[in-house]
Amino acid sequence: MTSAPGHRITVEPEAVHVRAVRDGQLLAESHRPLALRETGCPVRYYLPPEDVRTELLTPSDTRTHCPFKGDASYWSLPGAADLVWAYQEPKDQVAAIKGHFCFYDTEVVTD
């Protein structure tokens, strides 16, 4: 957990089935995501790289900085720029998300 006045982040394993689909194509599917909960943001699921079809993704030149999580790198699909991101060297407080991929659009699947 990390926090600052009025801001809090937690990262925990989540017992849900999530997947990322774009234009009918399955990009990722996981039964072992990490749920990142951050003040003022929707829950984001960070998926292990083994559960992501990385061969479909192209690295982007985009980089962003979060004062709480660190520097993020992005990947794209044709027609979908910067669709997914990961923190390769996250801040210590969120170290669990290192190398995990996060999609803007994921869905929780009810098994």
Q: DSSP states of 34-95 as a string?
A: EEEEETTS--EEEE-GGGB-GGG-EEEEEEEEETTTEEEEEEEETTEEEEEEE-SS--GGGG
- Give the pLDDT of residue 1: 55
pLDDT over 90 (residue 9): yes
- CATH number at 56 reads 2.170.150.40
- Give the pLDDT of residue 5: 76
The 10 Å Cβ neighbour count of residue 66 is 14
Q: Is 40 left (phi over 0), alpha (psi -120 to 50) or beta?
A: left
pTM beyond 0.95: no
Q: Is 82 left (phi over 0), alpha (psi -120 to 50) or beta?
A: left
Q: Record the tokens describing residue 53, joined without a space.
A: 């079809």
Cα distance between residue 57 and residue 84, in whole Å: 9
Q: Record the tokens describing residue 83, joined without a space.
A: 């669709």
Q: How many domains does the chain have?
A: 1
Question: What are 66-108's pLDDT values in tens digits?
Answer: 999 999 999 999 999 999 999 999 999 999 999 999 998 888 8
pLDDT over 60 (residue 53): yes
pLDDT over 60 (residue 3): no
* % of the chain residues with pLDDT over 90: 85
Beta bridge partners, 21, equal 26
pLDDT over 90 (residue 49): yes
Query: Domain span at residue 11?
Result: 2-109
